[in-house]
Amino acid sequence: MKDMTALITGAGSGIGFGIAQSLAKQGVNLIITDINQAALSEATNTLSNDGASVQGLILDVTNAQDVEQLVQSLANTRIDVLINNAGIQHVSRLEDFPMESWQKIVDVLLTGPARTCQALLPKMRQQGFGRIINIGSIHGLVASPFKSAYVSAKHGLIGFSKVIALETSDTDITINTICPAYVKTPLVDKQIAAQAEQHGISEAQVIDEIMLAPMPKKAFIDIEEIAATVSFLASPQAKNMTGQALVLDGGWTVK
């Protein structure tokens, strides 16, 4: 992993930032992006102060011009690993779901990765190596109420990855999707409050009766678990693992 370069979207906080921290400890050069300038600056400074080789770039993955500018700015930079992590959420029954929010979620979670892959695949083909890692969700495999847009997008992300796996099978490029159950991040904290409102129950009940109830292990997934999975998928040893959904769910889907 040492001296490889990874580009991570949505790395200003949460899972993306945790992955960046983990990769930095392994000597990976980092290009982190986020739409939030303040979060991006803080993350970049923290990583740099910890000794990481890091560059922070503003990026809206739903904006074609942003993605094109990113590619141009990195024209002379080798990108070994692309980690599609940027994400948003909105919790509401479909009857009350604003269509602009529905579309935005799909744009960020599904069309966004398609844009970044389309932009960086030529570079990966030219160098004869690439690892694309999508941060999916258990909701790419199962459904929960009040998350129609998110569940649809995450299901689509797995299908998208399978297609790109076939399209890149002629070279040492892989694409896989990590599907964790709930991870305790700021995004999930907001979901807890939203779910409590939708269901008319307390936030503690949301955690115990909704989020952790389907998991035999009854525990949130640690960001470190996801980061370790990223490290394996990014390695040369994972050259024949492609088009797969790697599930970190505490036993949710085995029942």
Instruction: Please count the other Cβ atoms lying within 10 Å of the Cβ belonging to residue 76.
Output: 5
Instruction: Give the burial string for 5-37 (b: 16+ CB within 10 Å, else e).
Output: bbbbbbbbbbbbbbbbbbbbeeebbbbbbbbee
pLDDT at 251 over 90: yes
State the pLDDT at residue 226. Answer: 98
- For the cut 90, the answer to whether the pLDDT of residue 43 exceeds it is yes
Q: Residue 181 — left, alpha, or beta (φ > 0 → left; ψ -120 to 50 → alpha)?
A: beta
Q: What is the pLDDT of residues 193-250, one digit of tens each?
A: 888 988 899 999 999 998 999 999 999 999 999 999 999 999 999 999 999 999 999 9
- With H, G, I as helix, E, B as strand and everything else as coil, classify residue 221: strand
What's the whole-number average pLDDT of the chain?
A: 96
For the chain, what are the domain ranges? Answer: 5-182+221-254
Whether residue 182 lies in the annotated active site: no
Confidence class for position 132, pLDDT limits 50, 70, 90: very high
Contact status, residue 61 vs residue 120, Cβ threshold 8 Å = no
Report the top-level CATH class of 5-182+221-254: alpha beta
- Give CA–CA dist 39/150, Å, rounded: 23
Active-site entry in 17, 129, 146, 150: 150
According to the model, what pLDDT value does residue 12 have? 97
Amino acid at 170: D
pLDDT at 2 over 90: no
pLDDT of residue 16: 98
Three-state secondary structure call for residue 233 = helix
In the predicted structure, residue 186 carries a pLDDT above the cut 80: no
